[in-house]
Structure formats: C-alpha cells, structure tokens
Amino acid sequence: MPTSIPIADCFDVLIVGGGAAGLYAALSLPGDLRVGLITKEALSLSASGWAQGGIAVALDSSDSPALHAKDTIVAGNGLCEPEAVQFLVEQAPAQVKVLLEMGIAFDRTAEGLAFTLEAAHSRPRVLHSADTTGRALIQTLTHQVWQRPNIKVLAQAFTLGLWTRPQTSSCQGICVMVEGEIRWLRAPTVILATGGGGQVYAQTTNPELSTGDGVAIAWRSGAQLRDLEFFQFHPTALTVPGAPHFLISEAVRGEGAHLLDSHQHRFMFDYHLWAN
C-alpha cells in the first residue's frame, strides 16, 4: 500500500454491496460492531430491487420444510447439495419472521399471509408484495439500516480490491475509489455481497450495475471460485427497442400462464416434459 495515502476509516466489519444480501448481513450483526456498508451506487439501487415474484418459505399449516426440501431437490435435477438445501428450508421460516418484524409489507388475505404457487413448488409457499417484492424488501431493509447508528454507509464508492497483507495474503480491508480518490478502509472481516454479473451477457434483464465485481475481486485475491456456470436465464422478458429488457414474473406461470409461440403452440414441451 502506498504510504502517502492515509487510512480513511477503521471498522470491525466491511460489507461490499448494498443489495438484499449486504443490507441483511449488516442488520444481522451485533449492534456494538462498527459496520461499513459499501455500495457503488445509491443505497436504494440494486438488482435485488428488480425482483418481482416473491420469497419461498414453508410457513403455511399445509406445508413443511421437508416438503420444501423435496421440491427443491427434484427441481435441481441432481445438481443440488442436500446439506445446503436442508439449511435453506430449515432457516427460511425464522428469517422471514425477522423480515415480518421489520415491517415488510407482504400481501395478506383475511386469514393471514397470502401464499402463491410458482413453478416446481407442490404447495403455495411464495410470499409476495404485489409483483414488486424485491422493491418492498429493499425499502424495508434500507429503512432499518438508516436507523442503526453502528452502520456507516459509503455510497457511490467503487471497490477496487481487497487489501491483503503481503506476508500472509490475509485480508485486512478493502481499497475503494470515492469521488476520484483512492481510500483504504481497514477491517479484520470483509464480506463480499456484490450480487451477480448479468451484464457480461448481451441479453439480460439485470440492471446496468450487475457487473460481477465481487467475483472478480475475489478471484484477483486468490479466492477459490466455483459454480460460475450457474447463471439463471429467465424464460420470459419483454423486449422493446431502445429500452432495457423487462422481466415478466415467474408468478404469471404459477397462476396458470403458458409460453406460446407465434402459432399458439406450447413449444417448450418440445424440449422438456416439465417445461411450461
């Protein structure tokens, strides 16, 4: 590190990324820790805010984590890690209850929470906030972050890389560019929560900020990468010349919609028996 550049701040934990993962990670840490939340755009801008459909969780009396796990394993077609699936379905109810306590406005019926059905689920278990669940989630988490005095938000700061010790390669912070200046932020713990890299493809429904920075930062620092081939290509999007592609929610198929070609033919069955 150049000795002429001062260390701007010291934190207990630095989180790179201001989407749902970064925000929730910051809120899950103890309040006595000094947390720095770094985002390359305004805090309210992230790919998470574009999510439409909802959050799958086995909370209804007719459902269970075991059924959720079974559906997930079947949908994964042999590619799921059973331990990871089990952790997901067992932890989901408690984490969603935390979101409810934070005040996220999931849709409700007269009986309680409104669950809808989406592809591969055998039970209606998807909580949603109209068709803008991601936006509702981000708004709620962002509001909570602003209420926490131990969380310092550094917005419009581009993370250039991890700051590692030359002797051990252990991480001691990050290097960021803010307002044209390079700053070094020190922390014994760094969490990369930077989201995906949909913009590496010519056709994507991801926002322009989804450029895979965190994966590149980790790779340059010597981290082991895996499963990079698992990009989700959403089957339905609205294409208008001169405008970004607009994702059409998975929820429409959960409610019975079908994919048809120009001849009204359900062509996906030509490629896969489970297709819609």
The predicted-structure confidence for 214-267, as pLDDT tens digits, reads as follows 999 999 999 999 888 888 777 788 888 887 777 787 767 767 888 888 899 998
Report the interhelical angle of 82-102 vs 133-146 (nearest 10°).
Answer: 70
Does residue 52 form part of some domain? yes
* pLDDT tens readout for residues 59-88: 988 899 999 999 999 999 889 999 999 999
Distance from C-alpha of 86 to C-alpha of 84, rounded to nearest angstrom? 5
- Cβ-contact 162, 221 below 8 angstroms: yes
Mean pLDDT for the stretch of residues 41-46:
73
| Claim to verify: residue 187 and residue 98 sit in the same structural domain | yes
What pLDDT does 4 receive? Answer: 34
If pLDDT is split at 50, 70 and 90, which confidence band does 275 have?
Answer: low
Residue at 2 is within a domain: no
- Model confidence at 274: pLDDT above 70: no
Task: Report how far Cα 184 is from the mean position of its chain's Cα atoms.
Answer: 26
Largest CA distance in the chain: 67
Dihedral angle of Cα 91, 232, 251, 192, to the nearest 10 degrees: 40
265 and 210 inside one domain: no
Helices (H), the chain: 20-28, 65-76, 82-102, 133-146, 213-220, 251-254
pLDDT for 67: 97
What pTM did the predictor assign? Answer: 0.82
| Shared-domain flag, residues 136 and 251 | no
Residue 38 has pLDDT above 90, yes or no: yes
Tokens of 123: 């039970």
| 88-106 average pLDDT score | 93
Residues of the domain holding 261? 237-270
CA distance 163 to 10: 13
On whether both 158 and 104 belong to a single domain, the answer is yes
Question: Band of the pLDDT at 50, cuts 50, 70, 90?
Answer: low
* Weakest mean pLDDT among 7-16, 73-82, 91-100, 186-195: 7-16
3-state secondary structure (DSSP) of residue 262: coil
- Comparing CA positions, the residue from 59, 35, 15, 12 lying closest to residue 159 is 15
What is the domain count for the chain? 2
- Considering the chain, what is the average pLDDT of its residues? 87
We report the CATH number of the domain holding residue 157 as: 3.50.50.60
Co-location of 88 and 113 in the same domain: yes
Alpha-carbon span 267 to 56, nearest angstrom: 28
pLDDT of residue 7: 44
DSSP at 114: P
**Does 212 share its domain with 248?**
no
Question: Same structural domain for residues 187 and 255?
Answer: no
266 and 172 within one domain: no
C-alpha span between 184 and 175 (Å, rounded): 5
- Do 96 and 127 contact (CB within 8 A), yes or no? yes
- 23 HSE (CA, 13 A, CB side): 26
For position 44, what pLDDT does the model report? 67
241 and 211 in a common domain = no
Q: Is the dihedral of CA 13, 154, 215, 217 positive or negative?
A: negative
Place of tokens 């998470």: 48
